[in-house]
Structure 1
Amino acid sequence: MSMISRIRGGVFIGLACCAMALPAHAEKADAALAGPLTLVVGYAPGGAADTVARAYAEQLRKDGAGAVIVENRPGASGRIALNYVKDSKPDGRTMYLVPSPLLTIFPLTYKAPGYDAEKDLRAVATLVDIPTAIVTGASQPFDGMKSYVEWAKKNPSSVTSLGVATLGSSGHLGILAVNESQNMKIEPVAYRGASPMLIDVASGVVSIGWDAVASMMPLYQAGKIKFLGVSGAKRLDALPEVKTLAEQGFPEFKAATSFYGIVVPSKTPDNTVAVLETAFLKASGAPELQTQLAAKGLVMAPAKGADMAQRAREELASWRPVVERTGIVMD
């Protein structure tokens, strides 16, 4: 018996709409999800998104879902993959591991993002929170964000650039705010994924880089990069010795912890979305997956699709004044 079949009965009991509980609807959901599922990632292999996607794909397989294929479609800061998924057949078999900035910041920063997050997508579940960080090469002469800013001011001719995998992200907005408050000009440089960006950070091509902590852990553990500070209001259990950026006097990054969630095309049927939601929430409870992702610097934050949609709306509202103040507009 498939995982979808086993969880089918339990999915619909707790839903507000009683119609979803009908066996006929459950059977249609099972039929729609027959065969391999595709989980699309908008970045190159090796980064945080890819790590999360492959961990969940393996856990879903262990739970009986069958083959879950992770498909990387990098480019345009994740928008190529998003547009691919939104235009795919709404049968629940093609999903997107969406980084929250595409829901909470891009609608504000891009003139024409190519999608309407509210109309084109349906939230399935939140999976993890994504603490982010600023890192530099291990041989660089600064050991924290404060010392980096002091160094950059004393060495204006040196490379003062921030590598990012996503333009228009909270990291991009944060560095623009730092430029404003510190009277600096740190230039954001866009990459097609965290892995190539971090290679350039480690070699000094760019002086610092910003992305998810999970993307940075392999090179950090290999001694190639060092952390200058992490986002959020408190230090991470995985990196207790690394100060938050806020602790160092840079509150611009306090709200730079985003999340990964699952979305599908907007016309995906309710009962199909419900089956997917329960499957991902069940996978989130697996101790092995939790341990694996925590070691990468990710924080488990499973939540239902309705809660994910509400969180996205609230974060969109909170970022609006920041975007208006910095004046960032992306083509």
Structure 2
Amino acid sequence: MENSFSLRKLSAMLAIAAATVVPGMAGAAGADTAPTRIIVGFAPGGALDVLARAVADKLRVSLGSTVLVENKAGASARLALDAVKRAPPDGKTILISPAPPFVLFPLLYQRLGYDPDKDLIPVAHLADVVLVASSSVSQPYKTMPEYVNWVQRHPESAGVGLASLGGTVHFGILTMGKSMNLPLTPTAYRGAPMMISDVVAGSLPLGIDAIASQIGLEKSGKIRFLGVTGTKRSALLPDVPTLKEAGIPGFDQASGWYSAFVPAGTPAATVARLEKAIIDAVKDPALRSKMAIAGMEMTGLPGAEAGKLIQTQRAQWRPVVETSGFKVEE
């Protein structure tokens, strides 16, 4: 009987203690176990989605928590950015974004809906996405200087293909045309596959897109690589000169990149913890090899470096965009 009374008394005391837990303590424990979400602004299966899922696999171990990837496609990745902007600043929501929403969109959109410098904090620069200019092997030119000479003789056929207007390739083409007095016409496609199909067929004289979308065709002898964007040769294509080396201006800052961001107001200690975890993830040799196949060169730079790059590239493109008069009305 004594034991029975003692057990009943203990149960009552525990019930009273549970009822008097300080409000917020349970919530704090729940927050610690809440999953970390990585938000990307494109559909599953693309290069950015592949990178996000590879990073998520590494973060599950380093952070010791569940890490989910959510695809919020639409509005040129602005839906994803808006979702992260509005998320609690607790380090549980991470945006992995390409360059345009931070570099070019502030120069192009009349009503952007976010401040790229105030609403999000750069956490880490993850990867460079080098682009390559290609042509069909059936074309008479084998180098960019030969292509330029060909365009001068055939100004009616000076279309240059790209995946979409309003990006760095678009303004690189405009800069090239103006600087070299060439009648180049940026020709936008609904996607890289359709553009590259026209390059292979020879109906499009030149196309510019990511290495990953073209490397198989180049290896099979259907297209020829003429030059890569950026200021140095790609480790993925060491024998292909940069467009600058080939005498073509306008593409020094045209390579793409992916960086990670969190909502403004996220504590500095939390940002630092995520920065280290993400940089360690992208420097993992297995991940680097996997992403190289997708045409990415992993960087793993601190958030401060990502922020500086955004400002440098935006300043570089501002006069080009203003001169072009190109704007997005939305």
TM-score bracket for this pair, using the shorter chain length: 0.7 to 0.9
Larger Rg: 2
Residues 53-132 of structure 1: pairs in structure 2 closer than 5 A: 53-61=52-60, 63=62, 65-132=64-131
Distance 1:152 1:318 in 2: 27
- CA distance 1:153–1:195, change in 2 (3 Å): same
**Distance apart, 1:320 and its partner CA:** 2.5
Residues 1-331 of structure 1: pairs in structure 2 closer than 5 A: 32=31, 34-61=33-60, 63=62, 65-158=64-157, 160-165=159-164, 167-191=165-189, 194-195=192-193, 197-199=195-197, 201-203=199-201, 206-331=204-329
Q: Is the 8 A contact 2:107 2:318 kept in 1?
A: yes
Distance 2:37 2:233 in 1: 35
Q: Is the 8 A contact 1:85 1:265 kept in 2?
A: yes
> What residue number does 1:8 align with?
none
Aligned residues: 304
Q: Is the 8 A contact 1:146 1:248 kept in 2?
A: yes
Q: Is the 8 A contact 2:253 2:313 kept in 1?
A: no
Distance 1:129 1:163 in 2: 18
**Distance apart, 1:276 and its partner CA:** 1.9
- CA distance 1:286–1:184, change in 2 (3 Å): same
> What residue number does 2:6 align with?
none
Q: Is the 8 A contact 1:48 1:215 kept in 2?
A: no
> What residue number does 1:18 align with?
none
Deviations 1:148-201 (A, max 9, x none): 333334344447142224x32221111011221333343334456545554554
Unaligned runs of at least 5 residues, structure 2 = 1-26
Q: Give the RMSD, CA atoms, in angstroms.
A: 3.2
**Distance apart, 1:230 and its partner CA:** 0.3
Structure 2 residue identity aligned to 1:59: K
Deviates more, 1:206-215 or 1:248-257: 206-215
Deviations 1:101-144 (A, max 9, x none): 32122212332233210122111111122322222345444433
Q: Is the 8 A contact 2:195 2:207 kept in 1?
A: yes
- Runs ≥4 residues deviating over 6 A: none
Unaligned runs of at least 5 residues, structure 1 = 1-27
- Which TM-score applies when normalising by structure 2? 0.77
Percent identity over the alignment is 43
Distance 1:237 1:74 in 2: 30
SS in 2 for 1:238: coil
